[in-house]
């Protein structure tokens, strides 16, 4: 059972940037998918981006394509989410999660993920 710790959240103005990190307490498995999800108050949890650990292939929600970049650092057992051109609608708690048995078609499905971090708050002001 892996423990996940998110960091890097904060308050920035619209148009600014933040980089979030997801660190594994032990390690990610080769077949893992690591995803970022977000949830605003009174909103459903939504998919943001995901990466497969071994191959490094990535998928993004349409709402963040061209603005967010997900990446992995194998040596540090860390997944990062670089967020540029931030908008007020990006305000949410951001969660890192691990799916131990991902498929290409379901990497964006929150219910498929097995482990979740506690989240980091991202607030974008107008």
Q: Are strands 78-83 and 18-24 parallel, antiparallel or unpaired?
A: antiparallel
Q: Read off the pLDDT of residues 9-51 as tens digits, 9 standing for 90 and up.
A: 999 999 999 999 999 998 999 999 999 999 999 999 999 999 9
Confidence (pLDDT) at 26 = 87
Using pLDDT thresholds of 50, 70 and 90, give the confidence band for residue 55. very high
Q: Are 83 and 61 in contact (CB under 8 A)?
A: no
Q: Which residues have CB under 8 Å from 39's CB, separation 6+?
A: 45, 46, 92, 93, 95, 119
């Amino acid at each position: 059972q892996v423990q996940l710790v998110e960091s890097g959240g904060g308050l920035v103005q619209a148009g600014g940037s933040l980089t979030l990190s997801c660190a594994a307490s032990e390690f990610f498995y080769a077949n893992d998918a690591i995803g970022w999800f977000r949830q605003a108050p009174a909103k459903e949890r939504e998919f943001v981006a995901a990466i497969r650990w071994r191959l490094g292939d990535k998928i993004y929600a349409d709402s963040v394509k061209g603005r967010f970049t997900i990446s992995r650092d194998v040596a540090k057992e860390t997944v990062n989410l670089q967020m540029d051109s931030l908008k007020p609608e990006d305000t949410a708690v951001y969660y890192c999660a691990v799916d131990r048995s991902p498929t290409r078609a379901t990497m964006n499905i929150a219910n498929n993920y097995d482990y979740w971090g506690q989240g980091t708050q991202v607030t974008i002001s107008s």
